[in-house]
C-alpha cells in the first residue's frame, strides 16, 4: 500500500457503507400512509424517546424533528434516500413519537402566484 | 558420517572397528588389513618352517653327539662281552673272571649311555623314542642272561640270539636316526656310518662263529653257510657305503684295507676257511684260536674306531648344519620382516594420505553440503519460490569436487537440486499464472460491479415510487452480496480488494454494513456495542469477516430467528459476540471450527474440506482473522445456538483518547493522503437543536443530524466538546463520510449534499480523473 490505487474506491466512493435496504430491513413506503416530499413531521411532546428509536437513523430523525421538518429536508439533511426517510418516519408515526405537522401548508394558490410574479420580475 | 567423530579420525589403520555400522573408512581399513595379516601369517609360517628344520637338524645332530658316541662305545664293550660270553658258553678258553671284568666295563659304559639317552629322550622324536625304549628293554634282560651264563644254564645259541637281537635293535635305531635327518647329504653319511656299525657287528658275529669253529675243530655245514653269509654281508656293506663316508674316515678305511697287516691276515684266513668248505679240519688251516681272537679284536677295534669317527664327524656336521639353517632362517626372517614392516609403513602412509587426506574429507564435506542443501537451502528456496520470489535455479553449491566418483555424486546432487527447484519454479509459475488469470477475471467482475452501488444510491435518493424503490432495493442487495463475494475472492487470492478506507469508522456501522452484505441482514439484532471506531486499515477485513460469521450464524439457525450481536470492551481490546438461536453445532463440529480458527488451513486443504458453504465461510474467517491477529472462537450461546466470539486487539480500536492520533492513520490509503482530507473523528457532542445549515462555514453549533444512537448519545451527553473541533456527533452509516475534515477552513457540507457532490465527482472520475481522495491530496 505504497500509493493510492487508481482502481480502488476510497471510503464511500463505492456507495454508502450501510446499504439503504438494510436501513429499512428491505421495506418500502406504505402507500396507505401518505407521506410525500413536502409532508412535514414533528416530534411529539409525548416523546418518551429512545424506545422508539430502533436504529440510529430513527434516532437521528427524532433529533431533527424538534421543529417541523419535511421529508425532503430530512432526506437532504440526513443524506438518506427519500424512500428510506419515508419508511422510517412511518415507523415513528406509527409509534407515536412523531406526528404530522400542520404548521406549514403552503397550498394557497394566490401566494404561490404572487411569488411567481415576483420571481418573474427579477 | 560426521566430521566430528574423533575415533574415526585418530584410529590408525589396522585397528579393529567396533562400530556396527561400518563406514567406508573402516571397510577400506579392513580390506587393507587382511592382506597384511595374511603376510604376517605367511611370514610366521615361513620362519617356523625354516627355523624348525634347523632346530630339528640341530636336535638330531646333538642327539647323535650326546647319545650315539656313548652308545657306540657301550655297544663296542657289549661286543667284547658278547665275544667272551659266546666263547664261555661254547666251552672256549675264556674263564668266568675274564668275563666278569668285561661285564663290569660294559656296565660302566652302558650306564653312561643310559644317562645320555635319558637326557636326550626329552627332545627325541617318536621315531627314535620307540626303538630306544625297545633297546633299553632288551638291555634290561642282560643281567638275567649273565646270571644264567654264570650258572651254565644257557646254551651258546641262546646267548648268540640275545646279543644278535640287541645289536639288530641298535642298528635299526641308528639307521632310523640317520634317515630322520632332513639334510640328504648328512643322511647319507649317517646311513654309511650305520652300515659301518652293522659291518662291525656282522664281523663280530663272524669272528664268534669262527672262534667256536676253531674251538670245535671244524665248522658244521650250517656254520659254514652262516660264515659265507656273514662274510659277504659285512664286506659288501662296507664297500657299498664307503663312498658316503667322510673323506678322512674314507682314507682311514682305505688305509685299513691296504696297509693294515691284521686286515690282510684276517681276510686271508676268512678266505681259506670259506674255501675249505664245510666240515674241513680247521686245525690244518694254520691259525690258532688266540691269533684269530687277537686279529678280530684288532680289526674290530679299528672298525669301531672308524665308525666312531664317522659318527663324530657327521654329528658335528649335523649340528653345524642345524645351526647354519637356524642362522639362515632367522636372518631371512628378520630380513623379510624388516622389508614387510617397511612396506607396511609405506602403505599405511599412502593409505592415510588417500583416505584421510583426500577421500574422507571430501566425502564428509559432500555429506555435510548435501545435508545442508536438503535441510536448509532447498526448503528455503522452495518457500521463496512458493512465495513468488525469483530464485537462481543454477546453484553454486556442491562445486569443486573434481571429476572422479565423488565429483559425479556431487554433480548428481546438484542436478537433483536444480531439477527440484525448476519443478518448483514451474509449479509456482503455473499457480501464479492461474492466480493472475483468476484475479484478473475477478477484477473485471469487480470493475463492472464497482460503480453500481453508488449509482443505485443516486437512483434511490429521490425515488418515490414504492415499487421501483423495492426493485432498486432488491437490485442493490444482489449487487452488494455479489461485491462481497468478489472482494472475498480477491482478498483470499492475495490481491487488494476494491474498497478502502481512509478514516476510522464506527464499529456499529461496520457491524450493520457487514450484515447488509448477506441475505440475512434483516435478522441482525444489535445489542450493546461500545461507542468505538475501527482503524481504517482493518475495516475491509472486519466487514468481510463479520459478514461471513453473520451468514454462518444465520444459516445455522431457523429462518426468522434473530442473530444477536454484542460487543464488550475488555482490557486489551474488544470482544464481539455473535449469537444465534439455531440448533447449535455438535461438539465435534465446534472443535473442528475452533481448530480451523487456530490453525488456518491453506488452500490445499480445501480439496479435503470440499466446497460446502460453511466450510468456505470458516476458511475465509480463519484467513482474515489470522492475518489481522484476531481471535475467533465458537462456543454455545445462551440462546442455545452457537456463539462466535471475536477478539479485536486494542491496536485496531479507536477511542476518544485516540483522536489526537487521527492524522497518523495509515490505513488503506497513504499517510500523506490520509492526513489532508481526513474526516475528523466523530466527536460525541450532543446535538440539541435542529439546524438546517447547509454549506455554512464552520460554526460552533451542534449539528442536529449528528445523533448516532441512543446509547452513545447518552454517554456523550456528559462530555464537553473537544476544544478545537467543531462539535460533530458520531455519524451513522452513510452520513456524509466524505465531508471535508478541516473544519476551520472548509465549509461544512451537509451530508446529503455531499452525496450529490460525490456522485458528481464520481462522474468526473469516470471521465478519466482519479478518485476524489487523490484530488484531495493534491
- Do A15 and B454 make contact, defined as CB atoms within 8 angstroms? yes
CA distances from B727 to A99, B361, B390, B746 (A): 29, 80, 54, 15
Q: Quick one: pLDDT at residue A32?
A: 74
Question: Which DSSP string do the residues of B243-307 spell out, in sequence order?
Answer: GGS-HHHHHHHHHHHHH-HHHHHHHHHHHHHHHH-TT-BGGGGS--HHHHHHHHHHHHHHHHHHH
CB-based burial of residue B753 (10 Å sphere; 0-12 exposed, 13-18 middle, 19+ buried)?
middle
Instruction: For A53, name the nearest residue in chain B, comparing CA atoms only.
Output: B710
- Give yes or no for residue B763 having a pLDDT over 80: no
Burial string for B173-192 (b: 16+ CB within 10 Å, else e) reads bbbbbbebbbbeebbbbbbb
pLDDT at B21: 63
**B769 half-sphere exposure, CB direction, 13 A CA radius:** 13
Q: Do B690 and A66 touch (CB under 8 A)?
A: yes
- Residues in chain B within 8 Å Cβ distance of A6: 770-771, 774
* pLDDT the model gives residue B647: 92
Kindly identify which residue of chain B lies nearest to residue A52, measuring between CA atoms: B710
Number of residues that this document lists for chain A: 122
Question: Which of A20, A67, A73 is opposite residue B460, by nearest beta carbon?
Answer: A20
Beta B499-500 vs A9-10: how paired, if at all? parallel
Question: Is the confidence at residue A122, as pLDDT, over 70?
Answer: yes
User: Which of B120-124, B150-154, B480-484 bottoms out in mean pLDDT, i.e. has the lowest?
Assistant: B120-124
Question: Per DSSP, what are the bridge partners of residue B552?
Answer: none
The Cα angle at residue B727 between residues B724 and B733, in degrees rounded to 5: 125
Q: How confident is the model at residue B342 (pLDDT cuts 50, 70, 90)?
A: very high
Closest CA of chain B from A107, distance in Å: 21
Query: Is A20–B457 a contact, with Cβ atoms under 8 angstroms apart?
Result: yes
pLDDT digits (tens, 9 = 90+) for B272-313: 888 887 777 777 777 888 888 888 888 888 888 888 888 888
How close, in Å, is residue A113 to chain B by CA atoms?
26
* Segment A51-72 mean pLDDT: 78
Can you list the pairs that B91-94 forms with residues at least 24 positions away whose Cβ atoms lie under 8 Å? B91/B215, B92/B211, B92/B212, B92/B215, B92/B289, B93/B215, B93/B289, B93/B290
Helix axes A56-64, A71-78, angle to 10 degrees: 120
Residues 6+ apart with CB under 8 A from B87: B93, B94, B208, B211, B212, B215
Q: Which residue has the higher pLDDT, B593 or B11?
A: B593
- Portion 89-118 of A in contact with B at CB < 8 A: none
Output the pLDDT for position B607. 67
Residue whose C-alpha cell reads 459478514 in the numeric block: B547
Could you read off the pLDDT of B716-758 as tens digits, one per residue? 444 443 433 333 334 343 333 333 333 333 333 333 333 333 3
Task: Determine the Cα–Cα distance for residues B199 and B266; give it in Å rounded to an integer.
Answer: 15
pLDDT score of B697 more than 80? no
Query: How far apart, in whole angstroms, are the C-alpha atoms of residue B347 and residue B343?
Result: 6
Q: Which chain B residues contact residue A88 at CB under 8 A?
A: none
Question: Which pLDDT belongs to residue B611?
Answer: 56
Residues B652-662 have pLDDT tens digits of 888 766 655 55
Query: Chain B within 8 Å of A12 (Cβ-Cβ)?
Result: yes
Q: Decide if A83 and B463 are in contact by the 8 Å CB cutoff.
A: yes
By Cβ distance, the residue of A10, A15, A25 closest to B457 is: A15
Query: Cβ A82–B461 below 8 Å, yes or no?
Result: yes
Phi, psi of B297 (to 5 degrees): -65, -40
Do A22 and B516 count as a contact with CB atoms less than 8 A apart? yes
What is the rounded CA–CA span in Å between residue B715 and residue B706? 14
Give chain B's radius of gyration (CA, Å). Answer: 66
Say how many C-beta atoms besides its own lie within 10 A of residue B416's C-beta.
15
Instruction: Determine, for residues A8 and B734 on separate chains, whether the beta-carbon distance falls below 8 Å.
Output: no
Cross-chain Cβ contact B771/A18 below 8 Å: no
Distance from CA of B585 to the nearest CA of A (A): 28
Are the C-beta atoms of B507 and B546 separated by less than 8 Å?
no
Q: How confident is the model at residue B38 (pLDDT cuts 50, 70, 90)?
A: very high
Is A56 close to B466, i.e. CB distance below 8 A? no
The full DSSP string for B623-636 is HHHHHHT-EEEEEE
Amino acid at each position: 500500500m505504497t500509493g493510492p490505487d487508481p482502481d480502488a474506491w476510497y471510503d464511500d466512493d463505492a456507495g454508502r457503507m450501510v446499504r439503504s435496504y438494510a436501513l429499512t430491513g428491505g421495506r418500502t413506503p406504505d402507500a396507505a400512509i401518505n407521506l410525500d416530499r413536502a409532508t412535514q413531521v414533528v416530534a411529539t411532546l409525548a416523546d418518551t424517546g429512545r424506545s422508539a428509536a430502533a436504529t440510529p437513523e430513527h434516532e437521528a430523525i427524532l433529533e431533527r424533528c424538534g421543529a417541523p421538518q419535511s421529508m425532503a429536508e430530512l432526506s437532504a439533511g440526513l443524506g438518506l434516500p427519500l424512500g428510506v426517510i419515508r419508511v422510517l418516519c412511518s415507523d415513528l408515526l406509527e409509534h407515536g413519537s412523531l406526528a404530522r405537522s400542520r404548521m406549514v401548508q403552503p397550498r394557497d394558490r394566490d401566494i404561490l402566484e404572487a411569488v411567481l410574479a415576483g420571481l418573474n420580475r427579477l | 558420517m560426521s566430521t566430528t567423530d574423533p575415533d574415526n579420525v585418530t584410529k590408525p589403520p589396522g585397528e579393529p572397528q567396533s562400530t556396527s555400522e561400518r563406514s567406508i573408512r573402516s571397510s577400506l581399513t579392513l580390506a587393507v588389513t587382511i592382506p597384511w595379516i595374511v603376510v604376517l601369517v605367511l611370514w610366521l609360517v615361513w620362519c617356523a618352517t625354516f627355523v624348525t628344520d634347523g632346530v630339528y637338524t640341530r636336535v638330531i645332530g646333538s642327539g647323535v653327539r650326546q647319545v650315539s658316541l656313548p652308545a657306540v662305545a657301550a655297544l663296542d664293550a657289549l661286543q667284547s662281552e658278547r665275544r667272551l660270553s659266546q666263547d664261555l658258553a661254547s666251552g672256549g678258553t675264556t674263564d668266568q673272571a675274564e668275563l666278569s671284568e668285561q661285564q663290569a666295563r660294559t656296565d660302566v659304559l652302558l650306564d653312561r649311555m643310559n644317562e645320555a639317552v635319558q637326557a636326550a629322550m626329552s627332545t627325541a622324536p617318536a621315531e627314535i623314542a620307540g626303538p630306544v625304549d625297545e633297546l633299553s628293554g632288551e638291555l634290561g634282560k642282560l643281567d638275567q642272561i649273565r646270571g644264567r651264563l654264570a650258572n651254565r644254564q644257557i646254551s651258546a645259541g641262546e646267548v648268540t640270539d640275545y646279543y644278535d637281537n640287541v645289536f639288530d635293535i641298535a642298528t635299526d635305531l641308528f639307521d632310523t636316526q640317520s634317515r630322520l635327518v632332513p639334510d640328504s647329504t648328512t643322511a647319507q653319511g649317517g646311513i654309511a656310518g650305520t652300515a659301518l656299525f652293522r659291518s662291525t657287528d656282522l664281523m663280530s658275529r663272524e669272528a664268534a662263529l669262527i672262534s667256536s669253529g676253531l674251538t670245535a675243530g671244524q665248522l658244521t655245514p650250517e656254520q659254514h653257510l652262516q660264515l659265507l653269509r656273514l662274510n659277504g654281508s659285512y664286506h659288501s656293506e662296507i664297500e657299498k657305503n664307503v663312498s658316503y663316508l667322510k673323506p678322512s674316515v674314507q682314507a682311514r678305511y682305505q688305509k685299513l684295507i691296504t696297509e693294515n697287516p691284521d686286515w690282510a691276515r684276517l681276510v686271508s684266513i676268512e678266505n681259506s676257511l670259506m674255501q675249505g668248505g664245510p666240515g674241513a679240519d680247521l686245525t690244518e688251516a694254520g691259525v690258532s684260536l688266540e691269533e684269530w681272537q687277537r686279529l678280530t679284536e684288532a680289526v674290530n677295534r679299528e672298525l669301531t674306531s672308524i665308525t666312531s669317527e664317522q659318527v663324530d664327524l657327521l654329528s658335528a656336521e649335523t649340528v653345524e648344519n642345524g645351526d647354519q639353517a637356524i642362522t639362515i632362517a632367522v636372518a631371512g626372517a628378520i630380513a623379510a620382516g624388516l622389508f614387510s614392516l617397511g612396506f607396511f609403513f609405506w602403505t599405511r602412509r599412502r593409505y592415510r594420505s588417500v583416505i584421510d587426506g583426500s577421500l574422507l574429507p571430501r566425502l564428509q564435506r559432500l555429506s555435510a553440503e548435501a545435508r545442508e542443501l536438503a535441510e536448509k537451502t532447498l526448503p528455503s528456496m522452495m518457500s521463496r519460490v512458493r512465495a513468488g520470489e525469483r530464485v537462481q535455479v543454477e546453484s553454486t553449491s556442491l562445486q569443486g569436487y573434481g571429476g572422479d566418483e565423488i565429483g559425479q555424486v556431487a554433480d548428481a546432487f546438484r542436478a537433483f537440486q536444480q531439477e527440484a527447484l525448476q519443478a518448483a519454479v514451474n509449479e509456482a509459475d503455473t499457480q501464479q499464472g492461474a492466480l493472475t488469470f483468476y484475479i484478473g477475471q475477478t477484477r473485471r467482475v469487480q470493475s463492472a460491479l464497482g460503480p453500481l452501488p453508488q449509482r443505485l444510491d443516486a437512483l434511490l435518493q429521490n425515488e418515490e415510487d414504492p415499487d421501483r424503490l423495492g426493485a432498486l432495493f432488491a437490485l442493490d442487495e444482489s449487487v452488494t452480496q455479489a461485491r462481497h463475494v468478489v472482494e472475498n475472492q480477491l482478498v483470499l487470492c492475495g490481491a487488494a480488494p476494491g474498497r478502502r478506507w481512509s478514516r476510522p469508522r464506527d464499529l456499529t456501522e461496520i457491524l450493520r454494513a457487514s450484515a447488509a452484505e448477506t441475505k440475512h441482514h434483516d435478522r441482525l439484532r444489535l445489542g450493546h456495542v461500545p461507542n468505538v471506531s475501527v482503524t481504517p486499515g482493518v475495516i475491509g477485513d472486519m466487514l468481510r469477516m463479520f459478514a461471513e460469521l453473520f451468514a454462518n450464524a444465520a444459516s445455522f439457525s431457523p429462518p426468522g430467528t434473530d442473530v444477536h450481536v454484542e460487543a464488550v470492551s475488555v482490557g486489551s481490546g474488544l470482544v464481539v459476540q455473535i449469537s444465534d438461536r439455531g440448533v447449535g453445532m455438535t461438539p465435534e463440529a465446534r472443535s473442528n471450527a475452533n481448530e480451523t480458527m487456530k490453525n488456518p488451513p491453506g488452500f490445499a486443504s480445501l480439496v479435503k474440506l470440499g466446497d460446502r458453504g460453511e466450510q468456505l465461510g470458516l476458511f475465509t474467517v480463519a484467513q482474515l482473522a489470522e492475518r489481522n491477529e484476531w481471535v475467533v472462537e465458537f462456543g454455545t450461546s445462551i440462546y442455545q445456538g452457537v456463539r462466535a466470539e471475536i477478539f479485536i486487539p486494542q491496536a485496531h480500536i479507536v477511542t476518544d483518547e485516540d483522536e489526537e492520533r487521527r492524522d497518523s492513520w495509515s490505513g488503506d490509503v497513504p499517510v500523506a493522503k490520509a492526513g489532508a482530507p481526513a474526516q475528523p473523528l466523530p466527536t460525541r457532542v450532543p446535538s440539541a437543536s435542529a439546524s438546517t445549515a447547509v454549506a455554512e462555514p464552520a460554526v460552533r453549533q451542534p449539528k442536529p443530524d449528528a445523533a448516532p444512537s441512543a446509547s452513545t448519545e447518552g454517554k456523550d451527553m456528559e462530555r464537553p466538546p473537544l476544544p478545537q473541533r467543531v462539535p460533530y456527533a458520531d455519524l451513522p452509516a452513510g452520513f456524509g463520510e466524505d465531508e471535508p475534515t478541516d473544519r476551520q477552513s472548509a465549509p461544512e457540507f451537509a451530508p446529503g449534499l455531499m452525496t450529490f457532490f460525490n456522485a458528481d465527482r464520481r462522474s468526473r472520475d469516470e471521465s478519466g480523473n482519479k478518485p476524489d481522495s487523490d484530488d484531495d491530496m493534491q
